[in-house]
Amino acid sequence: MKTEFDITLKIHRYDPGASRSWVQAYHLKAGRIIRFVDLFRKINEEQDPSLAWNSSCEHGQCGTCAVRVNGKPLLACELLVENAVESFGKTTFEIQPLDIAPVVRDLVVDLEKAYDRVDRVKPYIIRPAKPPEPGEAYPISTSELDRYVNATRCINCFCCASACISSHKGFLGPNAMLASIVRMMDPREEEKKERMEILYSDNGVYRCHSSQACSFVCPKEIDVAHFIALAKEGKFSGDQSG
């Protein structure tokens, strides 16, 4: 088994002060289970403390470290060196920030701007249904919850929005759609009308071209396209046939 790899990262950099963009190559020796976030850290510690990148939990639960590696949006904390070499068939990797919002510096994008699209679909219950009795939980059957529970697993890493072939032209994006679809399917949401207005607006689900790129790149393996297809057909509740 190969235990060490000679890796080249060609990182797309941006300096906001000088409004300068360039690609910088870093050569590193890295063990097989070193992750790409570890490579970025290694660059900071050994070669270039000025390289800016983003992460938080570093185990696939928060989605902060999403970048494009050879064009594919993914979480840098989940990509091991040996797996990257195997799946891309090379030891040189082009690293770019996600193209879902303006770049702040290097690999750090303005997530606030990206989140604006999620905020517009109101990712909460707009008008909550009353529980059977005050102080009680609203009952939800396991079969009803199972229909949409996978959509609740989204962490807003925006990999899907980056991969989506239409999300750059007015579409609010697959993850924003998912946040709204969850509440369309959630029996506790009574404000379905406003939700439908957003979902079927000019920025809504009909912007989707059904490429299924979202499902293909989702690090949480959510079948995003399935939920968008349900929304296109208006199949939000289990009792609708057809």
Partner 1 sequence: MNGAIKITNTIRCDVLIIGAGGAGLRCAAEILEKRPGTKVIALTKVSHPQKSHTSTAQGGLAAVDPNDSVDRAIFHMFDTWKGSDCMADQNVVKKISEGSWEQIIWLENRGMHFSRSSDGKLGKRTFGGHTVNFGEASAFRAVFEADRTGKGITDTGWGETMKRGISFMNQSVATELLFRNKQCVGSVVFNQKQGELIRIFAKATVFASGGCGQVFKVTTNCRQNTGDGLALVLRAGFPVMDPEAVQFHPTGIVGPGILASETLRSVGGILRNKEEGAFMEKYAPKMKELAPRDMVARAIEIEVREGRGIMNPDHKIEHVWIDLRHLPDAIHEKEIPEVAGFFKKYVNLDTKKDLCPVRPSMHYHMGGIPTNEFGEVQNMTQEVIPGLFAVGECAAASFHGFNRLGTNSILELITMGKFAGERVLEYMAEHSDTGLEAGAEKSIPQFSSYMEATGKESIGTLREDLRNTMTQKVGVFRTEGGISEAIETIKEIKERANRTALSVKALTMNQELVNRWELDNLLDLSLVIAQAALNRRESRGAHFREDYPERLDEFNDHTLIAMPEFGAVEQAGRPVDMSVYEAKREHYEQFGLIQRKY
Q: Given phi > 0 = left and psi -120 to 50 = alpha, else beta, which region is 180?
A: alpha
Q: Can you tell me which residue has the tokens 């510096």?
A: 105
The residue (of 221 and 233) whose beta carbon lies closer to partner 1 is 221
Q: At 10, which helix (H) or strand (E)?
A: strand 4-15
- Decide if residue 242 touches partner 1 (CB under 8 A): no
- Decide if residue 104 touches partner 1 (CB under 8 A): yes
Stretch that binds partner 1, among 80-88, 166-174, 201-209, 226-234 (CB under 8 A): 80-88
The residue (of 89 and 242) whose beta carbon lies closer to partner 1 is 89
The residue (of 25 and 140) whose beta carbon lies closer to partner 1 is 140
- Decide if residue 138 touches partner 1 (CB under 8 A): yes
Burial of 77 (0-12, 13-18, 19+ CB in 10 A): buried
- Decide if residue 149 touches partner 1 (CB under 8 A): yes
Structure tokens at 88: 């891309």
Binder of partner 1 out of 11, 67, 68, 156 (CB under 8 A): 156
The residue (of 154 and 208) whose beta carbon lies closer to partner 1 is 154
State in angstroms the smallest separation of the CB of 67 from partner 1: 13
- Decide if residue 47 touches partner 1 (CB under 8 A): no
* Binding residue count for partner 1, defined by CB under 8 A: 69
Helix, coil or strand: residue 69: strand
Query: What is the DSSP annotation of 31-87?
Result: ETT-BHHHHHHHIIIII-TT-----SSSSSSS-TTEEEETTEEEEGGG-BHHHHHHH
Binder of partner 1 out of 23, 27, 31, 87 (CB under 8 A): 31
Binder of partner 1 out of 105, 120, 226, 235 (CB under 8 A): 105
Query: What is the DSSP annotation of 123-161?
Result: SS-SSBPPPSSTTSPPP--HHHHHHHGGGGG-----HHH
Give 197's contacts (C-beta < 8 A, 6+ positions apart): none
* Residue 22 vs residues 14, 58, 176: alpha-carbon distances, Å: 7, 27, 31
The residue (of 36 and 171) whose beta carbon lies closer to partner 1 is 36
Distance CA 73, CA 107 (A): 12
Binder of partner 1 out of 28, 108, 165, 229 (CB under 8 A): 108
- Decide if residue 116 touches partner 1 (CB under 8 A): no
Q: Which residues bind partner 1 (CB under 8 A)?
A: 3, 15-17, 30-35, 38, 41, 44-46, 48-50, 52-64, 77-78, 80, 82-83, 104-105, 108, 110-112, 115, 119, 122-126, 128, 131, 135-142, 145, 149, 152-153, 155-156, 183, 186, 188-189
